[in-house]
Amino acid sequence: MVSKIESSRNAMLAGLPAEELKRLLPHLHAAPLPLGHVLYESGQTIDYAYFPDDAVISLLASLENGRSVEVTVIGNEGVLGVRAALGGNVSVNAAVAQIPGASWKIKAEVLRAEFKRGGALQERLLRYTLSLMAQISQTAACNRVHLLEQRMARWLLMVVDRTQRLEFPITHDFLAHMLGTPRSEVTLAAGIFRKAGLIHYTRGKIKILDRQALEKVACECYRADQASGRKN
């Protein structure tokens, strides 16, 4: 257990001081996340926090008409359920595993108690909260003013950064849901990317073929996300 967590790619857990890690170890449990798994519904009590390793989680804002749109993604740079550490008990957004993979879970009450101790984990969680707020604000602006191709390129790059993989499972339906866009438009954009040699798409999987070209297509929001992550 110790070696697995110590070798985790999650930035919140990696390299924690031995004393803090020792306190957390009995409470951290492996939590594999399958594609589309719902971790929270909007308004649901936060019982567990999740530290993704190579899984990626989407936070979704829901509307009264049943539609939803992604407001941010959480991968190995952060934690789902940071609200619990800060004293919040209820999730504002739904949370869905958009890319399947490994993660660690911990009871919210345990994370809150560790946060109150004021150690390295507290500092990391506070800095991550600032980064998360900046990313949510950037996504709101991005969804309002940028073209689908730009937003899709940004989304793909954000997933690559968090999984360190160039190939991952995703369907046009799921991607359309994440981007708040009709499936037909996502299919058209994916076709443009494929013809340009940026991606390969088959049987529900996308493979990035030319990351540098994809970065040129992505809007400024991707670079803003990266800058925010470096500052925090």
Alpha helices in the chain (DSSP H): 2-6, 18-24, 82-85, 108-117, 120-145, 148-163, 172-179, 183-195, 211-217, 220-231
Q: Which of 53-67, 116-130, 156-170, 200-214 has the lowest mean pLDDT?
A: 53-67
> For position 5, what pLDDT does the model report?
65
Comparing CA positions, the residue from 51, 121, 56 lying closest to residue 86 is 121
Sorted by sequence, the CB contacts under 8 Å of residue 194 that are 6+ apart come out as: 200, 201
Q: Which helix (H) or strand (E) holds 200?
A: strand 199-202
Give the up-direction half-sphere exposure of residue 143: CA atoms within 13 A in the CB hemisphere: 18
pLDDT at 41 over 70: yes
Give the C-alpha separation, 31 to 67, whole Å: 28
Alpha helices in 41-165 (DSSP H): 82-85, 108-117, 120-145, 148-163
> For position 210, what pLDDT does the model report?
96
Domains of the chain: 2-141 (2.60.120.10), 145-231 (1.10.10.10)
> For position 85, what pLDDT does the model report?
92
What is the average pLDDT value for the chain, to the nearest integer? 89
- The mean per-residue pLDDT over the stretch 96-108 comes to 94
pLDDT band for position 1 (50/70/90)? very low
Q: In what order do the strands lie in the sheet with 199-202?
A: 167-169, 205-208, 199-202
- The mean per-residue pLDDT over the stretch 96-124 comes to 94
Higher per-residue pLDDT: 49 or 203: 49
Comparing CA positions, the residue from 180, 181, 200 lying closest to residue 190 is 200
**Interstrand relation of 48-52 and 103-107 (parallel, antiparallel or unpaired):** antiparallel
